[in-house]
Amino acid sequence: MSVQGSDEAVRLDADASLDALIHTLTTQAGRTLGVDAHACATATVRGLDRWLAAASVSAARCDAAQDRHRQGPRYDVRTTAGPVLIEDLDDAAATARWPVWAHACRVQGYRSAAVVTGTHRDVTVYLSLYGRRPCVWGTAATRAVGLAEGIASVVVARDEVIALAHTMDDLLACSRSQPLIDRAVGVVMAQRHCDATEALAYLRSAATHRDTREVAAGLVAGVVHQR
């Protein structure tokens, strides 16, 4: 396997591993926190919403029930930053604010819910917990905040790996194209009887609406065909 292929495999493995870690932290949240609950995690990353993972289809459906009208505890915590803790979904007073979401929870068999947030840098994770029976969340809610922060830090790390991979690809492309551009500069110098600085400026101006590498390749190919 080439060095480039090895680097690409490492980056893909790192990306997949971090995705798997986000999934595991979410799906095992109930066990980690010591509560009988299914978790669902979403995030806001630099102002954009992102789906992360869910422990079950039913939990995912409850979380998604908030999105059409953007009404539910997950949207409330965006403005209050404080947790929403509902001990019993049969308590009308507790769910009157979000009837669609509360109905979806009951249809999926949930009796309690909690939503907390955790932030790391420019990523905020919303961790929702859905319990099959009434639950006094207590210290579990506090620990859930730390878990949400941990998930947010993994999301940040994953995005950094992807950004680094793109940067490395760009650098590799530039290093590969430099000999071609150097040859094109030589062609322009010979044709226009100018120095290297003027030749490079000519190449860049000719590539206003194209990639400089494409223009350079065209010039070099033209000289080769003339021989």
| Span 180-195, pLDDT tens digits | 677 777 877 888 888 8
Percent of the chain whose predicted confidence (pLDDT) is above 90: 55
pLDDT score of 91: 86
Region of 70 (left: φ > 0; alpha: ψ -120 to 50; beta: rest) is left
Residue 167 has pLDDT above 70, yes or no: no
Helix (H/G/I), strand (E/B), else coil: 71: coil
Over residues 164-193, mean pLDDT: 68
pLDDT, greater one: 71 or 174? 71
Sign of CA dihedral 204, 206, 211, 214: negative
Percent of the chain whose predicted confidence (pLDDT) is above 70: 77
Q: What is the distance, to the nearest Å, from the Cα of residue 118 to the centroid of all Cα atoms in its chain?
A: 15
pLDDT score of 60: 98
- What's the pLDDT band for 3 if we cut at 50, 70, 90? very low
User: CA 7 to CA 71: how far, in whole Å?
Assistant: 44
β-partners of residue 127 are 41, 116
pLDDT score of 175: 52
CB 187 within 8 A of CB 227: no
Enclosing H/E stretch for 142: helix 138-192
All structural domains of the chain, each given as residue ranges with its CATH number in brackets, are: 3-164 (3.30.450.40), 177-225 (1.10.10)
Residue 227 has pLDDT above 60, yes or no: no
Give me the chain's average pLDDT, please: 83
Greatest mean pLDDT range, 2-11, 20-29, 188-197: 20-29
Residue 42 has pLDDT above 60, yes or no: yes
User: CA 136 to CA 139: how far, in whole Å?
Assistant: 9
Task: Please state which of the ranges 83-87, 155-159, 167-171 shows the lowest mean pLDDT.
Answer: 167-171
